[in-house]
């Protein structure tokens, strides 16, 4: 059913435009109901639900093991992050200790996934403002990460790799060497992105000082991840509330500084992701030589049947703070599962930072938020 717009907010000479749900710039099946006065936007209402698959309700009739593949299909651009965050919640509920080797492998695949996800975000944002070449370059380099994942678990998009208690497969013999070779290839490419896009005059004019998100607004809307850090705060769960073994690695948390415009603008949201590519490389170079020996399957429970109780676990995904709340009544299926979607919160701020801008700027602002509708709708 279509929702009727309150006519009191539509003034003379204003019109209502629908962008999406079939539109290349909505980053999925999203509909934006836009009120405009000519080219100037006065109100944007995101209409979601086109990709709703009853994920949380389905989980109430699935065993804990069966839920893992469903988590991959939430944020399908960062599936490793989804299964990792869910597995951490189940492990917290079971109170089990994870082998060192598993922790190192999880950090490695998580940071490779962050690189792959940010490459899509950077390339597609350039595409949104009219830069085609960077998109083809980022896709080219993302393919190399997907090649590593395919060697690791046989899949390139939905991996079903991180399981509660362990991972599905141990590292192949030459995986570490191939990953180091990828890092040696990839690091110089980041400078190429900067030369091609970051300092491009047209790109700066389309993104700097556009869609400024003040820190107070970001916090009030629950924005997290690169979109929050672009507004000037260094909140990153890997540093603020370290999980897994992230406290063992030396890396920085990039924040927006308004180098080309205002702190918290579209350019800052883009550039924070570029800088995070470098930090992920830094973490990987520290983790790869330190992988200990061990059995990656030793801590995987034969049957998951937690005691009665409830847990909430947080994880820093490519898009921000992913949370899983699980309530157990002692059976082999959860009595309730709730997922906190960072992209949902990030999308909710769209109207706040789009009002007063032109229609073409709304495309830039939406692209800079880096949303994934599979995670929002679930």
128 or 82, greater pLDDT:
82
As a whole number, the mean pLDDT across the chain is 88
Question: DSSP class of residue 229?
Answer: H
What sign does the dihedral 39-216-218-56 (CA atoms) show?
Answer: negative
pLDDT number for residue 26: 66
Indicate if the pLDDT at residue 27 is higher than 80.
no
Helix 359-369 crosses helix 100-128 at what angle (to 10 degrees)?
Answer: 170
Write down the residue that tokens 């429970």 correspond to.
Answer: 301
Beta-bridged to residue 31, according to DSSP, are 47
Pick from 6-20, 117-131, 329-343: least confident: 6-20
**Domain range annotation of the chain:** 56-353
Q: How many CB atoms lie within 10 A of CB 238?
A: 20
What's the Rg (C-alpha) of the chain?
21
| Short-list 97, 50, 69, 67, CA closest to 244 | 97
pLDDT number for residue 178: 92
- Structure-block tokens of residue 205: 């004019």
**Whole-angstrom Cα distance, residue 147 to residue 181?**
13
**Whole-angstrom Cα distance, residue 300 to residue 80?**
17
In tens, the pLDDT along 325-349 reads 999 888 888 999 999 999 999 999 9
| Short-list 116, 320, 109, CA closest to 235 | 320
pLDDT number for residue 229: 93
Query: Which numeric CATH code is attached to 56-353?
Result: 1.10.645.10
| pLDDT average, residue stretch 206-225 | 90
Indicate if the pLDDT at residue 183 is higher than 90.
yes
Indicate if the pLDDT at residue 283 is higher than 90.
yes
- What percent of the chain has pLDDT above 70? 96
- Terminal-residue alpha carbon distance, the chain: 19
| pLDDT average, residue stretch 289-299 | 88
Indicate if the pLDDT at residue 1 is higher than 50.
no
pTM, entire model: 0.89
In tens, the pLDDT along 125-171 reads 888 888 888 889 999 999 999 999 999 888 888 888 998 988 988 89
Banded pLDDT at 12 (limits 50, 70, 90): low
**Whole-angstrom Cα distance, residue 158 to residue 149?**
10
What sign does the dihedral 213-214-220-222 (CA atoms) show?
Answer: positive
Do 286 and 249 meet the contact criterion of CB atoms below 8 Å apart? Answer: yes
Pick from 4-13, 39-48, 267-276: least confident: 4-13
Residue 156: asked if its preceding bond is cis (omega within 30°), the reply is no
Question: 28-31 — which CB contacts under 8 Å span 24+ positions?
Answer: 28/371, 28/372, 28/373, 28/374, 29/373, 30/347, 30/371, 30/373, 30/376
Beta-bridged to residue 76, according to DSSP, are none
| pLDDT average, residue stretch 13-17 | 82
355 or 28, greater pLDDT:
355
């Amino acid at each position: 059913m279509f929702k009727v717009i309150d006519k009191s907010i539509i003034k003379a000479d204003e019109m209502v435009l629908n962008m999406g749900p079939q539109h290349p710039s909505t980053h999925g099946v999203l509909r934006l109901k836009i009120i405009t006065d000519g080219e100037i936007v006065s109100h944007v209402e995101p209409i979601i639900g086109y990709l709703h698959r009853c994920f949380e309700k389905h989980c109430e009739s699935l065993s804990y093991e069966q839920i893992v593949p469903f988590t991959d299909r939430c944020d399908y651009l960062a599936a490793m992050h989804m299964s990792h965050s869910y597995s951490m919640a189940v492990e917290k509920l079971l109170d089990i200790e994870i082998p060192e080797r598993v922790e190192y492998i999880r950090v490695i695949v998580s940071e490779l996934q962050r690189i792959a996800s940010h490459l899509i975000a950077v390339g597609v944002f350039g595409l949104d403002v009219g830069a085609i070449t960077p998109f083809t370059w980022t896709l080219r380099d993302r393919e190399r990460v997907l090649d590593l994942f395919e060697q690791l678990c046989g899949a390139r998009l939905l991996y079903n790799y991180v399981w509660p208690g362990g991972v599905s497969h141990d590292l192949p013999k030459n995986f570490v060497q191939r990953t180091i070779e990828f890092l040696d290839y990839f690091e110089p490419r980041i400078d190429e992105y900067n030369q091609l896009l970051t300092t491009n005059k047209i790109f700066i004019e389309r993104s700097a000082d556009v869609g400024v998100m003040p820190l107070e607004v970001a916090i009030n809307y629950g924005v997290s991840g690169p979109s929050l850090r672009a507004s000037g705060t260094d909140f990153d769960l890997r540093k603020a509330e370290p999980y897994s073994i992230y406290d063992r690695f030396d890396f920085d948390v990039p924040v927006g500084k308004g180098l080309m415009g205002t702190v918290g603008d579209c350019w800052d949201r883009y550039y924070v992701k570029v800088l995070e590519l470098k930090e992920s490389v830094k973490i990987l170079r520290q983790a790869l030589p330190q992988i200990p020996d061990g059995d990656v399957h030793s801590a995987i429970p034969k049957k998951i049947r937690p005691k009665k109780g409830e847990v909430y676990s947080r994880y820093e995904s490519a898009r921000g703070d992913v949370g899983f709340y699980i309530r157990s009544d002692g059976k082999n299926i959860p009595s309730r599962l709730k997922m906190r979607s960072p992209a949902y919160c990030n999308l909710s701020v769209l109207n706040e930072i789009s009002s007063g801008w032109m229609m073409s700027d709304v495309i830039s602002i939406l692209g800079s938020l880096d949303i994934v509708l599979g995670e929002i709708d679930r």
